[in-house]
Homo-oligomer: A and B are copies of this chain.
């Protein structure tokens, strides 16, 4: 691999001058610039990131921590983040923490050690202090899909409470009277907030019945079991709001197995809007701008890194859309 020294020799200048053209910084005459660029091309030279970083420059790398790569929501976010990072000349290191705070902390260390310029964190388990101690080390941080209330941690997410309200309201408008909610662990803020929205609307409509709320494991099986239990208890139910699409699909399957007339006997709405997974089953859903979430997170972080903008006070909530399909509208 060619070094900056090789280039400087070939171009007959000093390394400093070469460095100047690499970084487009400081004065250098048109001619020398050209001959340097020429030399770089001849040698097929690319500056060594490691050396660069050691010499105090940015590494043009950001880290993205996600809690669960098996949840299709996150690959979608990751893909968007990667696309965007690449477009901006950044590399992305993707870390899957398995929703394990220990592992997450290891990742912080390794990312710092790898000298990333900033970190995007989607975590259910991180505490505000975790992030703040990162920020104190002068490494820009942005929280994704989660808000740390009461702390000055920039975040980007959607309005989950509003989403819960939208979903529930739609079921009410479809004429449902006994509406159940199947959701994931409530330590995950998004689920808690969707639940809040659910309760708000039902109370407002005098339809609230806490018996019809079930928390289960965040998986197809969880959704399946929760639905089965609800219905086997003999509860009268004509609508279900599932806290996310994975749960909704489990739910769909349970309804099927129990002999319910899909799309009619019991209306169903999910949450996430992961097209591929829900569209083909025609399950209504609250659709999050998943791609945008990843995209804007990177955009913002890069702005902070490049010091084009102070994002420390940025608190962004993106819009939600409701996708009405057969599972609530009927066949």
Chain A binding surface, main DSSP class: helix
Residues of B contacting A82 in the complex (Cβ-Cβ under 8 angstroms): 95-96
Q: Are A110 and B96 in contact (CB under 8 A)?
A: no
- Give CA–CA (A253, B53) in the complex, Å: 52
- Partner pick for A93 among B69, B79, B91, B109, CB 8 A cutoff: B91
Interface with B: A29-37, A70-78, A151-159, which one? A70-78
- CB-CB < 8 A to A61: which residues of B? 114
State how many copies of this chain the complex holds.
2
Contact with B along A266-287 (1 / 0, CB 8 A): 0000000000100111000000
**Minimal Cβ-Cβ distance residue in B for A60:** B110
Asked whether A48 is an interface residue with its Cβ less than 8 Å from the other chain, the reply is yes
8 Å CB contacts to B: which residues of A100-122?
A: 103, 106, 109-110, 113-115
Q: Which 3 A-B pairs rank lowest in CB-CB distance, beginning with the nearest?
A: A94-B94, A69-B75, A49-B113
Task: Choose among B75, B94, B115, B220 the residue that contacts A50 (Cβ–Cβ < 8 A).
Answer: B115
Which one of A48, A114, A220 has the greatest number of beta carbons of chain B within 10 Å? A114
Enumerate 8 A-B pairs (CB-CB under 8 Å) in ascending A order.
A46-B109, A49-B115, A50-B54, A50-B113, A69-B75, A70-B76, A221-B280, A224-B280
Q: How many angstroms between the C-alpha atoms of A249 and B72 in the bound complex?
A: 16
